[in-house]
Amino acid sequence: MLINIFNLHHHTEFWPDADDFKPERFVHNEKRGLSFMPFGAGERICIGNVFASIEGQLLLTMISQ
């Protein structure tokens, strides 16, 4: 079974302004359940999950410097 992650991340019930750039929506790390799953979920979740998240923050920091 495939889950359409793009459609999931544009579901208006969870993400009313999905196309707007609003990084602040991630400031409060409230429980999002499976409404946000860029790395998949379950047994086959991306194994680069933590690495990619740290690398992303590092990249943003280096660019802003």
Which residues bind to ligand HEM, rule: CB under 6 A? 38-41, 44-48, 51-52
- Closest CB to ligand HEM among residues 16, 38: 38
- Closest CB to ligand HEM among residues 16, 52: 52
For 55, phi then psi, to 5°, come to -60, -40
Nearest distance from C-beta of residue 54 to ligand HEM, angstroms: 10
Which tokens is 63 given?
């660019």
Q: How far apart are the C-alpha atoms of 7 and 53, rounded to whole Å?
A: 22
Q: CA Rg, the chain, in Å?
A: 14
- Closest CB to ligand HEM among residues 3, 22: 3
